[in-house]
Amino acid sequence: MELSRRNFLKSGVAAATAMAVGIPISRIASVAAAETEQDWRWDKGVCRFCGVGCGIMIATQDGKIVATKGDPDAPVNRGLNCVKGYFNGKILYGKDRLTQPLMRMTDGRFDKKGKFAPVTWDQAFDEMAIQFKKAYEEKGPTGIGVIGSGQWLIQEGYAMTKLMKAGFRSNNIDPNARNCMASAVAAFMQVFGIDEPPGNYDDIEYTDTVVAWGANMAEAHPVLWQRVIDRRLGHADMKVVNITTLRNMTSEGSDLEIIIKPNTDTALLNYLAREIIHRDEVNQAFVDAHCVFCAGPTDIGYGMRATDKFAFEAEKDIQAREIEVTLTRDEAIGLGLDPEQVHTIKQANAATADRHWLVGFEDFKTGVEPYTLDFVAELAKGDAEESLDAFKAKLVRLADLYADPKRKMVSFWTMGFNQHVRGTWVNEQIYSVHLLLGKIAEPGNSPFSLTGQPSACGTAREVGTFSHRLPADMVVNIAKHRDITEQTWKLPPKTLNPKPGSHITKIMRDLEDGSMSWVWVQVNNPFQHVANANHWLKAARENDNFIVVSDAYPSISAKVADLILPVAMIFEKWGGYGNAERRTQLWREQVPPPGEARSDLWQILEFSKRITLAEVWKDQAIPGLKDEGFEEGKLPDVMASAQEMGYQPEMTLYEALFETPENKAFAWPDPVAKGHDNHTVKHLGVDWFVEKALFEEYAAFGRGHHHDLAPFDVYYQDDVRGLRWPVVDGKETPWRFNAKYDPYVKNGEIEFYGGAMKELVTGNLTGPTTEEKTKFPGKAKIFFRPYAAPVESPDGNYDLWLCTGRLLEHWHTGTMTRRVPELHRAMPAAVLDMNEKDAEERGLKRQDTVWIESRRGKIKAVIETTGRNRPPRGYSFMAFFDESVFVNKLCIDATCPISKEEDFKKTAIKIYKV
Amino acid sequence: MNISGILVVVPPARIEGATRALNALPGVEVHHTEPTTGRIVVVQEAETVDQEVAALSRIKALSGVMLAEMVYHVFDETPPEWDAIPADMAAS
């Protein structure tokens, strides 16, 4: 670049940066900014990465992204970006981008043992359909599956859900979001009867306190963390607390750092509840008016298989705990049992872990009574080098903050809570603390579940791409919800399958045990991100399974696939995301996808053209189906009633489900496009606006039902930067359940109006004592949940904890961020962070290459003792972005039995020098 | 070539020292300052993303810096020619 042009460009960038953050500049400088940008087309978009949902502006020229900037008008980030924001413009242009379909072939034909070769889209879809029909004919709707994503666009997730549930009559569709925030979802439903947070990010600017629980916000949610730091600088009373299992970057910005042992968060929250009661700080008026108390079974297992048939030999001792558990001394105390006795408990409620019943306040009080300062401090202290007294003082300080009636409290959490064998419990418990205090649903008082993916909320949760869900918080196993969905989708009665399908870990297990043999993966990398990977890699490659992976880059999942479909990425297609504060944001297609790459939506619709109604809407065997109104183990033939509705057996699923008369009414081109292209519409060869039609069809589920979205076009207005649902009469809802802000509150000032599970039997801490059900509309539940030890803890052989997580520079499995080659060279490999003394004790030092071994596998990595994560003695940490280190070969695939989310935070390992 | 606009925030009393320290970093130029709020706009030029990220870390490590985040990025690069099959896929 010429020097003069470069200097000019730099002046322009400086001026534009100043303008973006509101620093006044001279008129000359603003002219420079304008001239720099004069040939570029700017449009608004959303960051592709974490769940914060920062607004960015994108500049394009000649079909390429030339610049991006933080959107000064975006209320989430106000012009700032973190370093991941930088990648939005770069991730499209990696050297190894996939640009044409690739299939394993030998001599011009599909061969599972063959090598990848380029094929046409027709060849790809033809083979995919042959293999689909083979699996479907042999095994029925449960023999096929889809692994989707919290990065799916709203329209993509919606189309795939409709294709799977209405078309294929299979509930085996589950997003990677299962392993990100399913525990948060389960707790929202159990506590409030409706998903997603009452509050929003603005709570940061109204609060006096932020407590991060198992959330390294400084690395994983830097822009929100920046808002926390700004508040701390500008508000003298502000306190920030980091509750964590290791010292991390978030500790640096905190007033109080509390290092705890794994899983003891459940005990710590009970200590807080006990303190609130003993200090007489229960907000009695709030609790009486708006809450009930609940308990549930504690013998719920750990979400593992109930058989060790497929376990490696070394896994069998831990796997046996799925059947029967001998309580630890601390667990016995926490359950109010005699710790001197041996308590061996059959895990009888493993399949009914979400069961719960009403109890009284006195029962709750009895439940938390054992959680004294002495008991909890001994149990929870995570840093052996900290004195017990110092740790106790910190717990008291924490209780002082929560219990102070004048102090506003925000609790943030992410994977430390969610990826937890008692993830649903610990989510419920934080609500219990906030509800006891009445610190919820008003500015500055907010228990808030942060998310890790850009549309974990918008797509995975709101669209309902989980194996048990339908749109707008409805579920497949409630007849009324199926009826509503069948009517909206114009399906014959009993088309939908009432039996929940396989969650993501179970899809992997199904591939291993042969109950499923065809899987389509979109917008994620499950063969890297699902724990206990050695099993699933072998199932993919060595069993007679057909794996289709839609991806932009050669991820691990693409490499183990039989067929790879190249995809269009974020700004190469029209789409929408929903962030963690219920904010829905839509964008236009900015640049064309390269080569033959096409949107996931186009792929879904094209594939649906290859299956006819006669093939799917006939009798279907569903093993284990026992729902009322169905013959046992069967879905009925619905073709006769379908024909009465005007469907024909030879119609394709594309015609029946997608190209409906209602959808065709949305014409393309549309003025909202303002000259932007739409490659999905172009390659489908249609004249209807697919993304708009599907968005409006989907939005119909939520409008009038607490989930109202604005009309499609509104999100594209120049003055709109996303809207927080419910959007009623054109107005968004910043705080839910509060009459001042939420038009759905009809009774009183606060109403927890979510409708799910608001009628229960009554009992005590050990079980129900009545059969009569009580209704409690408008109320939230305060759960008692006891401390539970992790399923696997270090012992004499595997003597170190391993926790996995994220880094600022790399995102998740690194499929996109590792593509920036210079960055990959700078941070090529994940390291194992460990305590210097633990290393010394094993004769190791930093930068040594070691074997890390668990019951499930072993990997090689370099150890680090002076990194930005500083584990206490006995604890280690590794990020999961790096496929060459592949930490998920080590991790246990135990889950929270309620949410089915894996616990990536607690595996026992040993390490030794290579 | 990558050019980034970065917002740096320091305590207002330290803005002069911070400006000098920033200008001394390779590839970094201070363009605008706001003495009342301690906000500084710098432009950073780097050959590669790697250098860009490393340089941002250096800015964050300067004494007194409370915030340093990228706001604006310009990419002045030619898109790659894509292979039919990426090299590491051909072997698998």
Let me know the angle formed at the C-alpha of A671 by A666 and A675, rounded to the nearest 5 degrees: 120
Is B86 in Cβ contact with A554 (below 8 Å)?
A: yes
User: Which distant-in-sequence residues (6+ apart) come within 8 Å of B13 by Cβ?
Assistant: none
Closest CA to A781 of A31, A3, A193: A193
- Substitution target in B49, B51, B67 with the highest count of A β-carbons within 10 Å is B49
B13 touches chain A (CB under 8 A): no
pLDDT value for A86: 78
Residue pointed to by tokens 């189309």:
A159
- How confident is the model over A463-482, as a mean pLDDT? 97
Share of chain A above pLDDT 70, in %: 98
pLDDT per position as a tens digit, B9-50: 999 999 999 999 999 998 999 999 999 989 999 999 988 777
Cβ neighbors of A655 (< 8 A, separation 6 or more) are none
What is the pLDDT averaged over residues A727-731?
Answer: 97
* Closest chain B residue by Cα to residue A17: B5
Are the C-beta atoms of residues B72 and B5 closer than 8 Å to each other? yes
pLDDT (average), residues A640-662: 98
The Cα A604–Cα A89 span in angstroms is 26
Mark which residues 63-92 of B lie under 8 Å from A by CB. 66-67, 69-77, 79-80, 82-90, 92
Average pLDDT over residues A329-356: 98
Contact of A877 with A913, CB cutoff 8 Å: no
For an interface test with B, the pick among A7, A23, A119 (most B C-beta atoms closer than 10 Å) comes out as: A23
For range A49-76, the mean pLDDT: 94
> Which is nearest to A691 in space by CA: A156, A189, A27?
A156
Query: CA of A124: how far to CAs of A92, A129, A498, in Å?
Result: 23, 9, 32
Cβ distance A422 to A896 under 8 Å?
Answer: yes
Query: Above 60 in pLDDT, residue A120?
Result: yes
CA distance A387 to A46: 46
> Which residue in A66, A822, A825, A827 has the most chain B C-beta atoms within 10 A of its own C-beta, making it the best mutation to test that interface?
A822
Q: Count of CB atoms within 10 A of residue A318's CB? A: 22
Least confident of A573-582, A883-892, B59-68: B59-68
CB-CB neighbors (< 8 A) of A116 in chain B: 85, 89-90, 92
Task: Show Cβ contacts of residue A517 under 8 Å, excluding neighbours closer than 6 positions.
Answer: A134, A135, A138, A139, A143, A144, A511, A543, A544, A545, A546
Place of tokens 């830097």: A222
CB contact under 8 A, A1 and B4: no
Is A181 noted as a catalytic residue in this protein? yes
Q: Hey, what are A393's tokens?
A: 């003082």
> Hey, are the CB atoms on A93 and B80 less than 8 Å from each other?
yes
Q: Is the pLDDT of residue A578 over 70?
A: yes
C-alpha radius of gyration, chain A, whole number: 27
- On average, the pLDDT of chain A sits at 95
pLDDT band, very low/low/confident/very high, at A822 (cuts 50, 70, 90) = very low
Among residues A291, A409, A415, A569, the one annotated as catalytic is: A415
Only one residue has tokens 């090529």, namely: A828
pLDDT for the residue A25: 87
Q: What is the rounded distance in angstroms from the CA atom of residue A635 to the CA atom of residue A169?
A: 9
Token duo for residue A117: 């070769």
**What is the value of pTM for the model shown?**
0.96
From A19, A103, A180, A516, the catalytic residue: A180
Asked casually if ipTM beats, i.e. exceeds, 0.90, the reply is: yes
Which residues fall within 8 angstroms of residue A301, CB to CB, at 6 or more apart?
Answer: A321, A322, A323, A347, A349, A350, A353, A897
CA atoms within 13 A on the CB side of A390: 11
Cβ–Cβ gap B31/A18 under 8 Å: yes
A3 pLDDT above the threshold of 70? no
Is the pLDDT score of A660 beyond 80?
yes
- Predicted confidence band at A153 (pLDDT cuts at 50, 70, 90)? very high
The residue behind tokens 């011009």 is A108
A121: closest CA among A136, A99, A152, A149? Answer: A99
Contact A21 B7 (CB under 8 A): yes
**Chain B residues inside the 8 Å CB shell of A93:** 77, 79-80
The alpha helices in A369-439, defined as continuous H runs, are 373-380, 388-403, 415-418, 423-437
Contact at CB, B53 and A81, closer than 8 angstroms: no
- What would the pLDDT profile of A479-518 be if each residue is shown by its tens digit? 999 999 999 999 999 999 999 999 999 999 999 999 999 9
Per the document, the length of chain B is: 92
Contact at 8 Å (CB) between A466 and A175?
A: yes
Q: For residue B86, which residues of chain A lie inside 8 Å, CB to CB?
A: 95-98, 553-554
* Crossing angle (nearest 10°) for helices A178-192 and A504-513: 130
Residues paired with residue A61 on neighbouring β-strands, in sequence order: A64
Best of B57, B73, B76, B89 to disrupt the A interface (most A CBs within 10 Å) is: B73
Q: Does the annotation mark A453 as catalytic?
A: yes
A528 catalytic residue (yes or no): no
Mean pLDDT of A363-376: 98
Please say whether the dihedral angle defined by the alpha carbons of residues B34, B38, B41 and B45, taken in this order, is positive or negative.
positive
The proportion of chain A whose per-residue pLDDT surpasses 90, expressed as a percent, equals 89
Nearest CA in chain A to B37: A23
Inform me whether the pLDDT recorded for A819 exceeds 80.
no
Q: Which residue of B has its CA nearest to A113?
A: B92
DSSP 8-state assignment for residue A667 = B
Residue A618 three-state SS: coil
Find the catalytic residue in A47, A50, A128, A181. Answer: A181
Flag whether pLDDT at B81 surpasses 90. Answer: no
C-alpha span between A780 and A433 (Å, rounded): 12
A823: nearest CB among B6, B50, B73: B50
pLDDT band at A431 (very low <50, low <70, confident <90, very high): very high
